[in-house]
Structure 1
Amino acid sequence: PASDLAAIGIGLPGPVEFETGRPVSPPIMPGWDGFDVPGRLQRDFDVPVLVDNDVNIMALGERKTAWQDVDELMFVKVATGIGAGIIAGGRLQRGAQGTAGDLGHVRVPGGPDTPCACGNEGCLEAVASGPALARRLGVDVDSAAGGPEHKASKVIAQRLRDGDLETVRLVREAGRHLGSVLASCVSLINPSVIVVGGSVSQAGEHLLAGIREVVYTRSLPLATKHLRIVTSTAGARAGVLGAAALATDHALSPGAIEAAGRAPRRSA
């Protein structure tokens, strides 16, 4: 029942201004720029609505699931888009306007000049996302039922299980592209753990092998001495767990509890 709700947490696949909960020019969500997501939900639910980038909430969910004692963590989602949730000092880092961790639109050093949905060329998302890999394998993902992400992940996973050498090569190449961008991140923020999630993480060790190859080669030995690069433990539930954590942390914060104590009791 709505009367039992304390807060709602939501993740959106694009940049989000956390203070307002509004998406900001999301490249893969045309028409959603500036949409008042909290306001729309509060027409039906009279509770706080917290909206964040989906990778941020996946990072929260993964940490709650498997890495509660780790204060320096990056969660990298590889799916239709590519992004990272950054936890530093035990706190999620969103940046000034909520775009921290937008790895998908970082240019791959020495990579191909593939056009990207953001309008630039050579972005990580354009060469290493699930749909990008599927298209290079000759698979039509744009008209697929369930969306391009679902079709791409299924095709890639099946071809890897079949031992298709071209798929193995492309997945490892995508891992190296990811690694070339993540190596800079390792130098900048020095995480203890990099967790790789999202639908393309089903490629497992082939993707991780490419990432590790470049990160451990290009980063300083001190930065990688204890660095772990692993696949997600929470898997497909990371986002739901993170959204719940976002809502719970807000509902149990001192300010929210004090406000609830001052508010008149709602009728059942």
Structure 2
Amino acid sequence: MASRTSFPVGPRALAAENGRGDTEPRPNAAGAIFQLLRDGAPRTRADLAAVTGLARSTVAARVDELLATGLVAPTGEAASTGGRPPATFAFRPEARLVLAADIGVSRTRVAVTDLAATVLAEEALDLAVADGPVAVLNAVLTQFQALLERTGRSTADLAGAGVGLPGPVEHSTGHPVSPPLMPGWDGFDVAGFMGRALGTPILVDNDVNIMALGEHAAVWPTVDDLLFVKIATGIGAGIISHGELQRGAQGAAGDLGHIAVPGGPDITCRCGNVGCLEAVASGRAVASTLRAKGYDVSTNTALVELLRSGNTDAALAIREAGRSVGRVLAACVNLLNPSVIVIGGIVADAGEHLLAGIREVVYTRSLPLATQHLRIVGAGTAGRAGVLGAAALVVQHVLAAGQVDQLVTTTTSVA
């Protein structure tokens, strides 16, 4: 590697990611030049000068600064138009690594990616979030180290880590806020705990938000308005509007699980209200319905296996759950007008039975204009949406123009 310099760490770096307390990046600085190279296409100094309008000497100086960080590397020579062929340069995603963790209620997926969010190594862990933050996060940190060793790299190569949690999160601090499925986690400093062990920026968000980011980046990058719905032990949504993730005032945007189902049964929800979508249509709710009929479905995985076996009662229960989800989503479609609704989570592995129930209601109850081009599809990331989104969260932060400028300053000061 050209450099082992770490990315900026600490409150100022994290504040910058959230748009607070950071100066505007200079248009002639290295960070701004780097944004033109992030697509990975090789460019010459002349190409960059032509696009930016900057003097070639300025562009040459900025390219040299980027080369020193290791984020950019020479890629060869462009075709000559006479004289010596000009050198080309491109983004080098392997320059740094990102750690990603998608922590669920009973299962966690961890991964190591490069700066293009390409998964280099990953592992799924059976972890109960109810065991508490110290036990769970220590297990994640241990697995992170094992994955780094598998890739032949070390913590010196890290740009940062992203973590998704199955509950509300104050994104600016990384603290869970009264998470109903996470006893002992309320207010815990996840970013601080992991940051002390790794020495890198730690970004934390709600698991459905990062799944929305992952699915959007990997499958629907050209779609500006997308709704990702996770159906598992709980039900939630990640909202992408105008290409940006919407978290809401307190980070509670997208909590579909506690919207009352129109015309639904008066089942008491764990939140204390009755008729919530989660109480009616989550994996836990469907499993409860089937257990009442004598089926042994103690987990969401057992539920999906029963459905895949061709069981008629399971198919009917899942389709009815889909209809309940559709009744809530129909209102969301009228309000948000997404182009795509992606259904993910372990219960979504039930496949077409669930999707059929959702589509049946959404397409009949939402406004025709809002559904004219609407697509309702299953997740396309094969269970990786969470880790891909956690990685994307970090990449967006550490490769932002202002952060790259700080990296250049740090690299120059230690050279």
Question: What band does the TM-score fall into relative to the shorter chain?
Answer: over 0.9
Aligned length: 258
Q: 2:233 and 2:265 mapped to 1: Cα distance? A: 18
Correspondence for 2:211 = 58
The amino acid that maps onto 1:59 is A
Distance 1:213 1:46, change over 3 A: same
Q: Give the drift of 1:259.
A: 2.2
Q: 1:73 and 1:29 mapped to 2: Cα distance? A: 27
Correspondence for 1:194 = 341
Q: Give the drift of 1:264.
A: 6.3
Q: Give the drift of 1:135.
A: 1.4
Which ranges of structure 1 fall in alignment gaps of 5 or more residues? 145-150
Aligned runs of 1:65-144 on 2, under 5 Å? 65-138=218-291
Aligned runs of 1:27-46 on 2, under 5 Å? 27-46=180-199
Deviation digits for residues 189-244 of structure 1, max 9, x if unmatched? 10000000000011111101110111011101010000000000003111011111
Q: Give the drift of 1:257.
A: 1.3
Q: 2:192 and 2:332 mapped to 1: Cα distance? A: 35
Q: 2:168 and 2:382 mapped to 1: Cα distance? A: 22
1:228 to 2:375 alignment: yes
Q: Give the drift of 1:50.
A: 0.5
Correspondence for 2:165 = 12
Correspondence for 2:363 = 216
Q: Give the drift of 1:266.
A: 10
The amino acid that maps onto 2:155 is A
Q: 1:140 and 1:123 mapped to 2: Cα distance? A: 24
The amino acid that maps onto 2:264 is G
The amino acid that maps onto 1:184 is A
The answer to which structure, 1 or 2, has the higher relative contact order (CA under 8 A, 6+ apart) is 1
- The answer to whether the 8 A contact 1:38-1:49 is kept is yes
Q: Give the drift of 1:261.
A: 2.5
- The answer to whether the 8 A contact 1:198-1:235 is kept is no
Which ranges of structure 2 fall in alignment gaps of 5 or more residues? 1-153
**Higher mean displacement: 116-125 or 89-98:** 116-125
Q: Give the drift of 1:177.
A: 0.5
Q: Give the drift of 1:48.
A: 1.1
Q: 2:285 and 2:249 mapped to 1: Cα distance? A: 30
SS at match of 1:43: helix
- The answer to whether the 8 A contact 1:18-1:51 is kept is yes
**Higher mean displacement: 254-263 or 30-39:** 254-263
SS at match of 1:83: strand
TM-score normalised by the chain length of structure 1: 0.92
The amino acid that maps onto 1:243 is A
- The answer to whether the 8 A contact 1:28-1:117 is kept is no
Percent identity of paired positions between Structure 1 and Structure 2: 62
The amino acid that maps onto 1:159 is L
Deviation digits for residues 62-101 of structure 1, max 9, x if unmatched? 1111101100000000001110011000011111111110
Deviation digits for residues 97-132 of structure 1, max 9, x if unmatched? 111101011111111121222222211111111111
TM-score normalised by the chain length of structure 2: 0.60
- The answer to whether the 8 A contact 2:308-2:350 is kept is no
- The answer to whether the 8 A contact 1:3-1:266 is kept is no
1:168 to 2:315 alignment: yes
The amino acid that maps onto 2:168 is P
Q: 1:39 and 1:265 mapped to 2: Cα distance? A: 28
